[in-house]
Amino acid sequence: MSKDNKHTEENNALMANGHKASPKEKDSFISFIYNKREGTFLGRNGKSWVQIIVFYIIYYIFLGAFWLGCLAIFLSTIDKNLPRYYGKGTIIGANPGVGYQPWLKNNPESTLIKFNINDNTTYADYVGVLENYTMKYENETTTKLTKLCSGSESNSDIVKDGKLKEEGLKPCRFKLDVFKASGCSLENDFGFPDGKPCVILSLNRLIDWKPEDFADDVIPKEIAKRYKKGSIGFNCDGTYGPDKEYIGKIEYIPEAGIDGRFYPYAKMDNYHQPIAMVKFHNLPRNRVVLVECRAYAGNIEQDIETRQGLVHFELLVEDYEVSTPKTNGS
Amino acid sequence: MSEKKKKREENLDELKKEITITEHEVPIEELYKSLDTNPEKGLDEQEASRRLVEYGPNQLTPPKNKPLWFKFIISLFEGFNILMWIGSVACFINFIIVAKRTAETVDYDTMWLGIILAAVVLITSIFTFYQERKSQHVMESFKKMIPPKVTVVRSQKMQQIDAVDLVIGDIVYLVFGDKVPADVRVIEANGFKVDNSSLTGENVAVRRTPEFTHKNPLETSNLVFFGTSVVEGNALGIVILTGDNTVMGRIAGLTSLVETNQTPIAKEIKHFIKMIGTVAISLGLLFLAISLYTKYKSGTLGEEWIDCIVFFIGIIVANVPEGILPTITVCLTLTAKRMSKKNCLVKNLEAVETLGSTSTICSDKTGTLTQNRMTVAHLWVNGKIFDSEVISEQPRNDSTERLLRCAALCSRAKFKNEDWNTPDSKRETIGDASEVAIMKFVNKQLQPVNVHELRERCRKINEIPFNSNEKYSVTIHRKENGQFLLLMKGAPERILHRCSTISIDGQTARINELVKDGYNVAYEYLGGRGERVLGFCEMELDPVKFPPNFKFDTDEPNFPLENLCFLGLISMIDPPRPGVPEAVRLCQSAGIQVVMVTGDHPITAKAIESCVSDSFSESARQVNIIGQPKVVHLISLETDELNLKQNEIKAIVVHGEWLNKLEESELDFIVHHYDQVVFARTSPAQKLKIVEAYQRAGRIVAVTGDGVNDAPALRKADIGIAMGITGTEVSKQAADMVLLDDNFASIVTGVEEGRLIFDNLKKSIAYTLTSNIPELAPFLTYITLGIPLPMSIRAILCIDLGTDILPAISFAYEPAESDIMDRPPRNPKRDRLVNWRLLFYSYLLIGVFQAIVGFSLYFWIMAEHGFPSYTLLNLKDVWEKRDLLVPDKYNRYWNYQDRMNLLGVCHGAFFYAIVCVQWADLLISKTRMNSIVTQGLENNVLNISLLFTTLLSTFFLFTPGVNSILKVGPIKLRWAMLPVLGMWQVFAFDEIRRAVIRKYPDGVVFHTTYY
């Protein structure tokens, strides 16, 4: 065997390496999207696309129909007057939250009630909301479907297991007289022009919930003086130290809070949601006050974390002189 | 980029040019002077340590790797990680902006999400990185190649030092069994022979002497090289080059400069990431635009644009299968482990799959296809050919005995181990491969006498060693009766030429034409089988002419070398390894072309090939090629094409010399048109050329090799396979895989595993991708329909990194669906790991199904809590306001906390719905074609993963604390039944789909849904 030859060969071959880079075929993205030569779009030709589309349409129609059917059956098992889950142990629970008015629907994120006593345009919206809210209590068509309750009469009489005992029973009527008497009505624009705004407080409706009384020895001191058995008491104060200082006199209308006879709630056409009002008599001017209102009953727990049993909002009463061009504008 | 490349090429050229050594040409005294050393005294210790500092330690520096931390940083930004980083950064920006705006009630949600996303990237990267590193660590054990100790003369003393400390000018003493520790010039030699196979791949012992015989350093007699081994004798030498400067070191350096191709699986993963990335980003941007537009229209863009970013993050997170890259890594690791049990040690994880894609295997003959152990195959004695296996059953006569005696005595081979009780096959031997083969054969035939005893009886008096001019070797023995016996062995034609008589059937006859004809037939027959044939003859010397005290002179022969008595022929072959023919057949049925590349003679090569592969045609076009190497354009393309069509001859033997003369296009023609190709008489370096030709043809090429010269080809190949036993360190370093048993059959198991893992990765990805749609759809409906978000990013991560992971990994254990070795190798251009069909199937078929089940459950739960579907439309703005109360159908007011709790339950339910339908998805993904009934449920890891998924999802949903962190609420049993219905439906649907595919293998369903 000739060894000379062999090793020179090897070296040649080693040298030849590295110069052999042949141009590689490149998958171009454009040719993938539309390949003219093969008439394919996104890698498939027309017939294939029609097939695939037809296949999927049929598939989706069957799939959709089946599951919509399923869903329809499931949903039809749900009582339209009684939710499947209510009360203790469910998500919504048995501890009501507190709501307030006036709250502007067009600016839902804001809980600030801000107005200028010298400019009626700044509080017109608030007054409008309150007016709207209270109107249903005096609306002829709805009041007709309620009854005046007195004595021991209450909604408990007509509700059983979270449902109206029978169709057509009338719930108790809620009357606004007490608010009118305390200067919280449309007649005085709910106190806004005087800088003494009225704010409505209410409890979130919970099915099958009614307030329980405090035992005599555990009545919270905040409401102890005003507390009346069978009612839900309210107490408002500044949220933080400085707010507490500035908040001034607060009037509770009615004093004892919401009368318990309007509970429990059940799905019905003319339920009169009971409310209470608070009137802020001497709020500071041009200064934001953070307010916290808590609801009190034997079965209401207040929890800042979950915002149960209390509500926060802010008040800002201004008294700047209104310059003419501004008012002209509106 | 191109600058860098240029520099590399310059480096390459420089390395190639440098292969000039002159130390062997100069007179030895001059060399001593220039190296400042002395053959008796050696270097003194100070000088040696000074030189060690100057030239560095005597070892090969492993190819320079980028620092670990750098590699890690790179891996942090690979693949989907970039998308995840974008998501994470967007979260932080969102958090900062929102935090600035609403100073008092800071919502830490987005910040946590940002941290979680970043953590996910970090953890998955660390995991993948660790896995890949770990498999590389296995190789560290192969580092030691040079002998740990070497005998040197230093400070006038003979002493043992670590070979690493060897320096230029050291005087070293080499004995048989040693590995040459550096490039050494021989000063004194005593029957010194080295085996250069680690350098050249040629397994032949060559004599080395102090004489300068050739200008070419590899040819000259007075140089031995680093990494080669001493097989006989001993020598004293002077070290002229150490470490990386040695010939072997330079080739190793050259190897590291050869560009390697990306592995096929890496290409597939890249392609996959590209696809998913495209989908994720385009969907993300589309919905970012939609949400920005709706905000713009409602005039709240100024304040709420930040929300749009959150959607964007959600879409990206939902789209990115976070767990899939670690899953792929784990699957590959598991397969690599399984392969190493079957003697395939995988160095580079991705190479696991490469073998499965391989369409061409360029295999060595020696050691891989064959046993690398010369074995006596036939004898020609008494005028007949006998198979070596049956010769012992044949009646013996004097002629046979004489042949055996001659074979036993006229040999330099020896057993190292004198213990005659151990079987011959296990005993270490010294000597030339064919001499050893004959010795072992004869030792068996002579029983109960052994070779050693026979040699004792007939002591060797003198000998003429084998020489390539005369092509024979002669030994003279003194028999027990004092008579001398002259024995000769060598190339048959030369031996016959020196004979006048022949021993047949115990009689001595004159050689006549009849005998010659018989001899010719036998010789041609044996030669044609590719066997190495040796002839034997003897002469009993006349005791009168040669009295017992006669002095034989071998330089000027004073004894007869003519008119001897011919005894017979013994032929040897390196037989195929057991299992190799079956393995080759398997490869061929699997559509893999096995190309034999060998240094052997074409006839031998062809013989082996036809031995190994049944279908290798005897009419292979070797003759016209070997015969006329001078005609360059032997293959005229047209006529050859015609030939191919007419004769269907698909086999060819290409001679190495001829290979050099072929033009590239001609080589390409061979590569394209012949199924079976044998490259004979090739030097290991020509492999590179062959590999490149096959790669040009679009093949995925596996190459086996063991020599250092193979290293560039191993590197260039898509998968380089080095030999664990015979392979050199450099070849192992260049390779992607090491065959621990050097057996070709192991490659086939590798191919099988590789194909299986490709299929299983496909299934695993199909499984994982499916859950992307039910993860994504909630965000899309959230943006377009404005319903409260049905599925949270947290829950998505719970699926992608929690419940989906183990099932996805369990696919690595899934048995093959059908006989994967019965189909051709995948076409790397068409058979992608992830194609659009798979995406369609996963996303639009099963994914949408899952999403529908999830939404049904969501709407149901919402309705049961007083929010029927129609009330949910565009509810999200109100729903998410902290201070708002939202009335339901029963006019109950829901505060923020209750709403979020309700949503948490919905998220939990949606999560559960996906987990549940993924159960079915796991079972249907087990097969792409077959029914689960045929496939069976034998994959216990997969079965356990089903259980694990169930437990994990239960843990997420119901463990207090865990579910509040994940913001998923516990769900009720009644709700849980709905996804179970969906699960069975998916399962049944897909069984039907696959049944349709089996029934109409070319139908619409196949074309639209088979991935």
Amino acid found at B173: Y
In this prediction, residue B954 has a pLDDT band, given cuts at 50, 70 and 90, of very high
In this prediction, residue B62 has a pLDDT band, given cuts at 50, 70 and 90, of low
User: For residue B569, which of B508, B523, B524 has the smallest C-alpha distance?
Assistant: B523
Say if residue B597's pLDDT is above 50. yes
Which whole number is the average pLDDT over A97-117? 83
- The strand order across the sheet containing A34-35 reads A34-35, A40-41, A44-45
- The region of weakest confidence among A23-32, B329-338, B355-364, B507-516 is A23-32
Say if residue B13's pLDDT is above 90. no
pLDDT of residue B207: 82
Which whole number is the average pLDDT over B149-167? 86
pLDDT of residue B1010: 86
In this prediction, residue B569 has a pLDDT band, given cuts at 50, 70 and 90, of very high
**pLDDT, tens digit (0-9, with 9 covering 90-100), for B521-535:** 888 888 877 788 899
CA distance to partner chain A, nearest, from residue B314 (Å): 24
CA distance A308 to A295: 9
- The region of weakest confidence among B172-181, B573-582, B683-692 is B683-692
Q: A160-189: b or e for each residue (b if 16 or more CB lie within 10 Å)?
A: eebbbeeeeebbbbbebeebeebbbbeeeb
CA distance B728 to B710: 10
**pLDDT, tens digit (0-9, with 9 covering 90-100), for B466-485:** 776 778 889 999 888 888 89
pLDDT of residue B912: 94
Say if residue B536's pLDDT is above 90. yes
CA distance to partner chain B, nearest, from residue A325 (Å): 26
**B851 dihedral zone (left: phi>0; alpha: psi -120 to 50; beta):** alpha
pLDDT of residue B423: 72
**Strand locations in B178-326, DSSP E?**
183-195, 205-207, 223-224, 229-241
pLDDT of residue B658: 74
* Report for A275-279, B192-196, B340-344, B433-437: range of highest mean pLDDT: A275-279
**pLDDT, tens digit (0-9, with 9 covering 90-100), for B209-254:** 888 887 777 778 888 988 788 888 889 999 998 888 888 777 777 6
Mutation for testing the B interface, residue in A5, A41, A67, A272 having most B CBs under 10 Å: A67
- A113 is written with which tokens? 């009630």
**pLDDT, tens digit (0-9, with 9 covering 90-100), for B896-933:** 888 889 999 999 999 999 999 999 999 999 998 889 98
Which whole number is the average pLDDT over B7-19? 52
A-contacting residues of B 142-201, CB under 8 Å? 200
A-contacting residues of B 809-838, CB under 8 Å? 836
Which whole number is the average pLDDT over A290-296? 93
Say if residue B628's pLDDT is above 70. no
Q: For B254, which of A14, A60, A271 is closest by C-beta distance?
A: A14
pLDDT of residue B952: 94
Could you give the percent of chain B with pLDDT greater than 90? 17
- The region of weakest confidence among A127-141, A284-298, B973-987 is A127-141
Determine whether the interchain pair B863/A75 forms a contact, defined as Cβ–Cβ distance below 8 Å. Answer: yes
CA distance A160 to A166: 9
Determine whether the interchain pair A70/B978 forms a contact, defined as Cβ–Cβ distance below 8 Å. Answer: yes
Which whole number is the average pLDDT over B963-985? 89
Please check whether residue B420 touches A, CB under 8 A.
no
B-chain CB neighbours of A307 within 8 Å are 895-897
Q: For B884, which of A51, A82, A108 is closest by C-beta distance?
A: A108
A-chain CB neighbours of B686 within 8 Å are 9-10, 13
CB B560 within 8 A of CB B540: no
CA distance to partner chain A, nearest, from residue B279 (Å): 13
ipTM for this model? 0.78
Which whole number is the average pLDDT over A68-93? 86
Residue with tokens 């893999």: B592
Could you give the percent of chain B with pLDDT greater than 70? 87
- A29 is written with which tokens? 């993205």
Average pLDDT, chain B: 81
CA distance to partner chain B, nearest, from residue A91 (Å): 6
Between B917 and A12, the higher pLDDT residue: B917
Residue B263's Cα: distance from chain center in Å? 11
Say if residue B148's pLDDT is above 90. no
Say if residue B616's pLDDT is above 60. no
Residues of B forming the active site: 364
B-chain CB neighbours of A271 within 8 Å are 891
Which whole number is the average pLDDT over A74-89? 85
* Residues contacting residue B36 through CB under 8 Å, at least 6 positions apart: B47, B169
Query: What value, to the nearest 5°, has the Cα angle with vertex B762 and ends B761 and B763?
Result: 90
In this prediction, residue B103 has a pLDDT band, given cuts at 50, 70 and 90, of low
pLDDT of residue A236: 93
Find, in chain A, the residue whose alpha carbon is nearest to that of B974: A74
Find, in chain B, the residue whose alpha carbon is nearest to that of A5: B657
* Residues contacting residue B756 through CB under 8 Å, at least 6 positions apart: B335, B356, B815, B816, B820
CB B256 within 8 A of CB B60: no
Say if residue B850's pLDDT is above 90. yes
Residue B345's Cα: distance from chain center in Å? 8
Determine whether the interchain pair B712/A9 forms a contact, defined as Cβ–Cβ distance below 8 Å. Answer: no
Which whole number is the average pLDDT over A99-116? 83
Say if residue B782's pLDDT is above 80. yes
Say if residue A8's pLDDT is above 60. no
CB B684 within 8 A of CB B200: yes
**pLDDT, tens digit (0-9, with 9 covering 90-100), for A218-251:** 888 888 888 888 899 999 999 888 899 889 899 9
Say if residue B856's pLDDT is above 90. yes
Say if residue B281's pLDDT is above 50. yes
**pLDDT, tens digit (0-9, with 9 covering 90-100), for B793-814:** 888 888 988 899 899 999 989 9
Q: Residue B282 burial by CB count (10 A; 0-12/13-18/19+): exposed, middle or buried?
A: exposed
CA distance B814 to B821: 16
pLDDT of residue B64: 63
Amino acid found at B257: L
* Report for B823-837, B843-857, B867-881: range of highest mean pLDDT: B843-857
